[in-house]
Homo-oligomer: A and B are copies of this chain.
Amino acid sequence: MLKAEIIAVGSEMLTPFQIDTNSLWLTERLNALGIQLMLKTVVGDDAARLEEAIGDALRRSDLIVSTGGLGPTEDDITRQCFARVLQRRLVLRDEILAQIEARFQRRQVPMPAINARQAMVMEGATVLPNPNGTAPGMIVRQGNCTVVLLPGPPREMRPMFEAGVEPLLREQAGNLRLLRRKLSLFGLTESRTDELAAPVYTRFSNPSTTILVKNGTIELHLTALAQTEAEAERLLDELDGQLDEVLGDYLFSRRDETLAQVVGERLRLRHETLATAESCTGGLLAGRITETPGSSAYFREGLITYANEAKIARLGVPAALLEAHGAVSEEVACAMASGVRQLAGTTYGIGVTGIAGPDGGTPEKPVGLVYLALAEEHAVTARRFVFPGDRSFIRTLSVNSALDLLRRRIR
């Protein structure tokens, strides 16, 4: 398997405002050819650091793709730095200069003298024409390493890669295919997931496995490499099947779906309906449910009863219950769930009440304490959580846990 590195050149990507996104697109294309990305560097107009990055990459990788820094100005240093590290001379190529001049002529603008710099090419390089800009790209073969220089603007970089780089890499990379599968889990911590999954996935070097956490949702990314797509699928299926046994019903999707999508799809298939009564999540639960197009098929309505009076007047939560147990209690969560279910005439009602903080916590009822309740025709079930984190994280975990409560009921 070929190992690649990407070097993005440009001071603007070292500000708080802009990030290198070219590498995401390039990674997808490289992966599809069975080429693995090992490292990314972002560097500004700093010749010493750029040359060091090039030197490191040259020693340890099979492919270097650089983007940016091919412009006509003083601070476009990519050409010079690569030439120095690769110990190749830069030579002016007349036919490229002519193309650049022609491009300016078509726009009826005289070519600024500095643009001549863009016609400088490393000795022995294959030139990649740029139909969408002035800076041509280059490919150089140095020892065992292929070096590709591309311009920074995506609308120049992408067509150039597709036309001039991809065909060459396809030959070099051979027939390898890289496929990914994402398993989404909810209800486990990262470390508990790893305790369960590591004994399985460490037995496989292909597919490889990466664990990610996003808002309390755990993702296992499986990556398989094989000679054919069918073989890669088979490898994924084998690991996936074994993981499935240890992960059980914590696993809610293999198709990059959210909890809300999975729950929504189940409700739709079962012709069942849902209403929500929220306090601490303030509408976010309904907001997440209605993110999915077509959610009106199963979502009827939601009430955000932030004030106690609203819980009483709108949901029929008994004032005595609020008095006896407080708004944040299992009893009130259940009354909210039942109340909204009855009001809306739906199959299910969900109630959420909790303390999202930062204020309002007490020793008995700390910030993060959340009660979730799920009401059906003949039953109400409730769960108590103490979520970690700040207000936003507590609210997000509450929403996901509420969706998961329903998912487990209807899976």
Enumerate chain B residues within 8 angstroms of A75, measured Cβ to Cβ: 210-211
Chain A interface mostly: mixed
- Within the complex, the shortest CB–CB distance from A62 to chain B, in Å, comes to 13
A43, A191, A212, A395 pick with most chain B CB within 10 angstroms = A191
CA distance A112 to B72 in the complex (A): 56
Rounded to whole angstroms, the CA-CA distance of A153 and B296 in the bound complex is 34
Complex CA–CA separation, A112 to B276 (angstroms): 35
| B303 and A307 within 8 A (CB) | no
A225-269, CB under 8 A of B: which get 1 and which 0? Answer: 000000000000000000000000000000000000000000000
Judge whether A73 and B109 touch: CB under 8 Å: no
Asked if residues B194 and A359 are in contact (CB atoms below 8 Å), the reply is no
**What CA separation (Å) do A386 and B109 show in the bound complex?**
11
Instruction: Judge if A363 is at the interface, Cβ distance under 8 Å.
Output: no
Contact A282 B286 (CB under 8 A): yes
Contact A303 B301 (CB under 8 A): yes
For window 65-100 of chain A, which residues contact chain B by CB distance below 8 Å? Answer: 71-75
A24 interface neighbour in B16, B103, B393, Cβ under 8 Å: B16
Are the CB atoms of A41 and B40 closer together than 8 Å? yes
Given the complex of chains A and B, what is the CA–CA distance between A347 and B13 in angstroms? 42
In the complex, the answer to whether B41 meets A14 with C-beta atoms within 8 Å is no
Stretch at the interface among A47-55, A160-168, A316-324, A401-409: A47-55
A56 within 8 A of B: yes
Give which listed residue, B72, B73, B293, contacts A391 with CB less than 8 A: B293
Give bound CA distance, A53 to B39, whole Å.
10
Asked if A301 contacts B290 (CB within 8 A), the reply is no
A270 within 8 A of B: no
Q: Which residue of B lies closest to A359 (CB)?
A: B293
**A284 interface residue, CB < 8 Å from B?**
yes
Whether B14 pairs with A38 at a CB distance below 8 angstroms is yes
Judge if A374 is at the interface, Cβ distance under 8 Å. Answer: no
Q: Which of A1-57 contact B (CB under 8 A)?
A: 11-21, 23-25, 27-28, 31, 37-44, 46, 48-49, 52-53, 56
Residue contact B24 to A291, C-beta cutoff 8 Å: no
Residues on B with C-beta less than 8 A from A295 are 282, 306
Q: Which of A14, A198, A309 has the largest count of B CB atoms less than 10 A from its CB?
A: A14
Give 1 or 0 for each of A94-120: 1 = CB within 8 Å of chain B CB: 000000000100111100101100000
Contacts of A52 on B, CB cut-off 8 Å?
Answer: 56, 60
B49 near A38 with CB under 8 A, answer yes
A300→B306 contact, CB < 8 A: yes
**A102 CA / B60 CA spacing, docked (Å):** 43
Would A114 and B191 count as touching, CB distance under 8 A? Answer: yes
A390 at the interface (CB under 8 A from B): yes
Contact A287 B284 (CB under 8 A): yes
Q: For residue A307, which residues in chain B have a CB less than 8 angstroms away from its CB? A: 296, 300-301
CB–CB B286/A304 < 8 A: yes
B191 adjacent to A310 (CB under 8 Å): no
A124 CB within 8 Å of chain B: no
Roughly how many angstroms separate A107 CA and B45 CA in the complex, as a whole number?
49
A15-B27, A17-B212, A301-B314 given; name 17 further pairs at CB < 8 Å: A14-B27, A16-B28, A17-B210, A19-B24, A38-B44, A40-B41, A52-B60, A53-B56, A73-B194, A106-B388, A107-B386, A114-B195, A132-B389, A283-B285, A284-B284, A300-B306, A301-B306
Q: List 14 A-B pairs, Cβ < 8 Å.
A: A17-B210, A17-B221, A40-B42, A49-B60, A107-B388, A112-B194, A278-B283, A282-B289, A282-B299, A283-B283, A283-B286, A291-B392, A293-B391, A304-B304
